[in-house]
Structure 1
């Protein structure tokens, strides 16, 4: 029997969903409110019913494509006169995905429609978007944080020694740094040099976008950060006043003043502003489109499908932000069955992961090409290692200058805890039918024969990786070898060395795919994770009521957040052979 409280809560949530499903009338001179609540993602994570009802470890998610679609539709909609951006309750997106969002904002502004950014506090990621608005407002007691980018790892060698755990690591690719946390107490000089190169490049791109958006001289942001203590002292420790004086914002305004300014820009009285939230706007457009269904038998445009591949690559099903090989393969095959399909764009945002999972997905991609379909890759923030393995043999690769890619290398990590057993006074003994019977037991030392097996698997996998890249990129292995070796490249560097074909975002990738397929007219269909009716309902409920707050602040929350990456890394180690194509130092820098 369902408890009355649970049933009542479910009925209440359903009433919210059905109420919000009604289309909102969009008045003339309306203002689009870009105020997403949740983590910005390329693909929604299906909710399990019990997890959703109990709100355990569930965070609201926002599709990047929804934000872009809403902005683009509003730019063409005569009923929308302006846009307000408020990212206070938004997590992400990555740097390259933010550039996609900024490109959509630029298209909106090109229509002569003003954009205002408002906020109490601006993080580095939020400010990158806000800086592209026509006007940036900050609360008088708010702040704006610009500190620079950093990439830091946890190094475990002393911890492993203390808990008597031995991790046997193997790698192919001299710069494949994924094994360093198990071997060292600090970042190696080689890895420090590689990370400093791509991190510096991303920071230059970041500051250039802000300086261009705010009309500041080149180098202004670096000078502000270098002189921050002295500058702050000049303004009595008031970050908001300092930001205004330095030209980072256009005005200081509390909530009432912000509302008044928005009304002024919209050309309406303060109580007459018709604001429409981006998700309500999309729902209304969807209902309006239902009345404009195409006439049966009419000539229909060809189809370009967008397939997202997001998260660490793991075998099996996608769950909790991981990209499961079986889920992605099913999605690719479902895509191939779409009537009128001519081209597919893979939207890749992954640091890599399991070799097995990467290969299953790569084979699914090649099935599409074998059917005569054009396949183009759009790289988001990350398409490293296993992500590049999937992309290498497609027809065209598009990346943003700030995309991280490459990291062509392979590693394995095999833990044994015989020292812990010995310390605890536990012995392990027995008999096997062959010399390999105890080869890969975690409670016994790794023999040289077993280590040799792993080394050969790693070496063979790396050679296969090099050949796949060489074949896909029209090179020979000798040309690929020096740009492989586990080295991480930015998108702009990857263009120079031939690992990608052009710069741009998802929109550019779609246009290129249509062009390669010889299409004059086309429609775009996004292929997300297949969900059951129950999961779709729960997803809608979650988005409607802002399920599970993910926005906490303060040192305790920061400490908890800092522990997530290493725990998630351990959780992603699921390859059947323990062999991985993954970049560990790559991270979202915003």
Structure 2
């Protein structure tokens, strides 16, 4: 049987209408736990949607796309990515979105933003548009820690590196409030701008909807925020009738495969764009994956994958996909060196930032030829912190006797048994100054900025991707598609001929796949022991920092 016959058997020739059901979940990365692997049975992955919808837009058999857009676990930057994928499809084929409701009094702005990527929006008569903006919160833990006998002692570089505030401040500082206010305003400004652009209405009209939310369907029609009020069956009937299709022609977008895409996979001799991923807290060594869903990016593993891309002559450029709140300064610098080696060898590197690429996440990205971030990406946080929580007061409250015996003048520096002495504060501050100086000096060199200018953008401050672009900390606002396009352009490779290949296996098989040497891109992170599980739980409760180059707080914007 010929390749043409095989393709015809797999794909078929009947017209189809594609569906994207956000309610079933969308995975933004390869599964790393059995639970995530099972989820893929009925859920789409971002990678599949990106590839399949791009191919479907060129396929005459595909009649259109229906999107069920509801509030989900996706972070705002991932919603941006998905909206961009749908918008690209919409440029060539008809699209429609429907929702029972864009939230019920809370949490519908991101779902509504995704719906605006389509041409036609339906909401059922009893639904609403809960598009009232974004709320951020600041929580300080010092009062609680003090009550149980714990004394937080932290140093920070500089005033915006507010992880130290989280533990050690007894009030919200002006710098902390200023940073959070700007992040929130930037996020909502970007959403309103995108919605106005897609709906073809003035931004003031969108702001009216935001400021008067929840908006009833009838009022949403008047403002031009939606197109129709009706139930699912009415929305589907209208779309299918307009596109000349029937219900039996519906197919989930992630189940679709085009002949062109399959043929491209079988085509030999294609130039490759390597995709290297970094997800989770950056640590030295190999890192761990927790059954609870926590993930660490082991510097050894990321370096192995970057070295594998360096050795592969068919890989002409690399997209470095970073989604990390940072972590270890040493581990971040180790990875930064690996990126530099690729560039020195003539292989362009484009960093693509996900929901967050801040502090250490920015450190590993800043040495790339170019950086692509979403408008809602949290990035920057060029700063450093360090300290400890002294537990002696808790021991006293519990009636426990503890005596520590240090051997060496610096043995007690990071001990939780005693507070910092004057000499130890001096040691800690000297070290924090050194790390901050190294970070900012290297950032200024990588971003080709005057040091004084870069340092004013640093000081531990977190920026959105939109604000980072305006200030020169990133180069482009967009997603992985744009990152691949930029990598191809820098490597002088025809994007239509290029094949994107994952370097190293970051999925479940990596847990059991044996490595032959430290030069092999296999045998990645392992499962944690009991101590690792407890550490993961502490991190979820906000009681752990993964290193001196960590994001000041955990922030999930949906």
Q: Are 2:91 and 1:117 equivalent residues in the alignment?
A: no
2:251 to 276, 298, 311: 276
Q: Equivalent residues in 2 for 1:118-197 (5 A)? A: 118-122=98-102, 123-197=108-182
Question: Matches of 2:119 and 2:326 in 1, distance apart?
Answer: 38
Name the Cα RMSD after superposition: 3.2
- Contact kept in structure 1, 2:132 and 2:211, CA below 8 Å: no
Q: Do the aligned partners of residues 116 and 173 (structure 1) sit closer, same or farther apart at CA in structure 2, a change above 3 Å counting?
A: same
Aligned-pair distance for 1:436? 3.5
- Contact kept in structure 1, 2:538 and 2:544, CA below 8 Å: no
Aligned-pair distance for 1:411? 0.5
- Stretch deviating more after TM superposition (244-253 or 432-441): 432-441
1:80-107 residue CA offsets vs partner (Å, 9 max, x unmatched): 0100011348421423x43333333232
Question: Matches of 1:257 and 1:432 in 2, distance apart?
Answer: 74
Counterpart of 2:531 in structure 1 is: none
Q: Do the aligned partners of residues 364 and 41 (structure 1) sit closer, same or farther apart at CA in structure 2, a change above 3 Å counting?
A: farther
Question: Matches of 1:475 and 1:196 in 2, distance apart?
Answer: 26
1:376 to 350, 372, 385: 350
Counterpart of 1:215 in structure 2 is: 200
Counterpart of 1:304 in structure 2 is: 273
Q: Are 2:49 and 1:67 equivalent residues in the alignment?
A: yes
Q: Do the aligned partners of residues 255 and 501 (structure 1) sit closer, same or farther apart at CA in structure 2, a change above 3 Å counting?
A: closer
Aligned-pair distance for 1:475? 2.9
- Contact kept in structure 2, 1:353 and 1:572, CA below 8 Å: no
Q: Equivalent residues in 2 for 1:396-545 (5 A)? A: 396-429=370-403, 431-520=405-494, 521-527=497-503, 529-531=505-507, 533=509
Question: Matches of 2:349 and 2:311 in 1, distance apart?
Answer: 15
Q: Do the aligned partners of residues 414 and 535 (structure 1) sit closer, same or farther apart at CA in structure 2, a change above 3 Å counting?
A: closer
1:263 to 237, 240, 260: 240
Question: Which aligned segments of 4 or more residues in structure 1 are displaced greater than 6 angstroms?
Answer: 57-61, 534-537
- Contact kept in structure 1, 2:287 and 2:296, CA below 8 Å: yes
- Contact kept in structure 1, 2:44 and 2:254, CA below 8 Å: no
Unaligned runs of 5+ in 2: 1-7, 103-107, 514-535
Q: Are 2:536 and 1:568 equivalent residues in the alignment?
A: no
Aligned-pair distance for 1:480? 2.0
- Stretch deviating more after TM superposition (34-43 or 67-76): 34-43
Question: Matches of 1:72 and 1:133 in 2, distance apart?
Answer: 15
Counterpart of 2:548 in structure 1 is: 580
Unaligned runs of 5+ in 1: 1-21, 233-238, 538-563
Aligned-pair distance for 1:264? 0.8
Aligned length: 517
1:465-517 residue CA offsets vs partner (Å, 9 max, x unmatched): 01211221223433322221112233343334332233333222222222222
TM-score, structure 2 as length reference: 0.83
Question: Matches of 2:44 and 2:388 in 1, distance apart?
Answer: 37
SS in 2 for 1:486: coil
TM-score, structure 1 as length reference: 0.79
Question: Matches of 1:221 and 1:435 in 2, distance apart?
Answer: 62
- Contact kept in structure 2, 1:165 and 1:419, CA below 8 Å: yes
Q: Do the aligned partners of residues 23 and 346 (structure 1) sit closer, same or farther apart at CA in structure 2, a change above 3 Å counting?
A: farther
Aligned-pair distance for 1:342? 1.1
Q: Do the aligned partners of residues 430 and 160 (structure 1) sit closer, same or farther apart at CA in structure 2, a change above 3 Å counting?
A: closer
Question: Matches of 2:234 and 2:346 in 1, distance apart?
Answer: 58
Question: Matches of 2:390 and 2:194 in 1, distance apart?
Answer: 48
Q: Do the aligned partners of residues 358 and 425 (structure 1) sit closer, same or farther apart at CA in structure 2, a change above 3 Å counting?
A: same
Q: Equivalent residues in 2 for 1:230-269 (5 A)? A: 239-269=216-246
